[in-house]
Amino acid sequence: MKYVLLISACVALAGLIWRWACLMKCGVAPTLSRPRGSARQGIIYAFSAGLMPGSKESTRRHTGAYFRGILFHLAIAVAFIILALLLLNLDQSLPFALRVVFSATALLGAVCGARALAARIMDANLRYLSTGDDFVSVFLVTGFTLLAGLVLLSPPVSAVFYLWTGILLVYLPVSKISHFMYWFFTRFFFGAKYGHRGIIPSSARRYGHEC
């Protein structure tokens, strides 16, 4: 089963490299206008303070969704750590406390994923937007975190976990899950553009921004 997983990982890597190469082939218009702020400061902001819950109107207004999203993504990272531990046969040497923390995080992430799936069905706007890929992607990742959480509690689950992860990895390059790779580009563009224009880092709070 581990070999299947290895092949899946190679497929995922090759797919992502191909997509990255396609993107790199596209042209970029140079910025020739005189700066009003600093693109560098904007980029730093976009990857630091700009990610905090208070920095955006959307996260201020939907704080619950923000923290569910953070927990979901944290759980994905933990699930990959659990996968690595299993592949290296280090899972049994993991201290009990850490095992509980990892397992709980992954399972809580799975709950957040299930909540996100439910929202796509229940919320009229999200239902309108959602494509088949949105459902499949969230379903696969939610299952991944769920199985990662369970595998530490019940080792026989590992075969299912490997199989599920293999499917997830093969699907990854053609799905919206690949946004994990593009995220760095878009945040970079956002920071560079708005930093250059002097819009970010924001000075709004000096004026008592209310919303």
Partner 1 sequence: MSETKKTVPYLTKAADLEYLNLPLLEDEERKAAAARLFRQKLQERRSFALYMDICAHCGACIDHCHSYLGTGDMKNSPVGRADLARHFYKRLTRRRGRGLSSPAGVEQEEVDNWYTYYYQCNECRRCAEVCPLGIDTAEITMVMREILAELGMVPRFISGIARNMYQTGNNMGIRPLALQDMAEFLEQELLEETGLPIRIPVNQEGAEILYNPSSSDFFTNTDSIMGVAKVFHAAGISWTLSEEIIETANFGLFFHDPTLRHHSLRLAEAARRLKVKRLVAGECGHGWRTWRMFQDAIQGQTRLPLTHIIEETLFLLDKGLIEVDASVNQQPVTYHDPCNLGRGGGLIDEPRTVLKAVVQDFREMYPNREMSYCCGGGSGLLMDEYHEVRMQLGKKKADSVRAAQAAILCAPCAICKAQLPAVMKHHQVEVEVKGLTDLVGYAVKV
CB-based contact 170:11 (threshold 8 Å): yes
Considering the complex, what minimum distance in angstroms separates the CB of residue 195 from partner 1? Answer: 10
DSSP per residue over 140-173, as a string?
Answer: HHHHHHHHHHHHHH-GGGHHHHHHHHHHHHHHGG
Token representation of residue 69: 């999203």
* Binders in 148-177 for partner 1, by CB under 8 A: 176
The reply on whether position 2 binds partner 1 by CB under 8 A is no
Size of the site for partner 1 (CB under 8 A): 58
Q: How far apart are CA 51 and CA 200, in angstroms?
A: 13
User: Nearest to residue 38, comparing CAs of 208, 205, 203, 201?
Assistant: 201
The reply on whether position 131 binds partner 1 by CB under 8 A is yes
CB-based contact 126:119 (threshold 8 Å): yes
Site map (CB under 8 A) of partner 1, residues 17-56, x = contact: -xx--xxxxxxxx--xxx-xx--------x---------x
Closest to partner 1 by CB, 37 vs 87, is 37
Closest to partner 1 by CB, 15 vs 143, is 15
Considering the complex, what minimum distance in angstroms separates the CB of residue 99 from partner 1? Answer: 31
The reply on whether position 63 binds partner 1 by CB under 8 A is no
101: left (phi over 0), alpha (psi -120 to 50) or beta: alpha
- CA dihedral (92, 81, 116, 53) in degrees, to 10, reads 120
Considering the complex, what minimum distance in angstroms separates the CB of residue 3 from partner 1? Answer: 27
Closest to partner 1 by CB, 56 vs 99, is 56
Which sign, positive or negative, has the C-alpha torsion 54, 60, 62, 63?
A: positive
**Tokens 């369970």 identify what position?**
150
Closest to partner 1 by CB, 42 vs 151, is 42
Of the CA atoms within 13 Å of residue 202, those in its CB half-sphere come to: 16
Among 57, 90, 100, 118, binds partner 1 (CB under 8 A): 57
Site residues (vs partner 1, CB under 8 A): 18-19, 22-29, 32-34, 36-37, 46, 56-59, 61-62, 65, 69, 123-126, 128-131, 134, 176, 178-179, 182-183, 185-187, 189-191, 193-194, 197-200, 202-204, 207-211
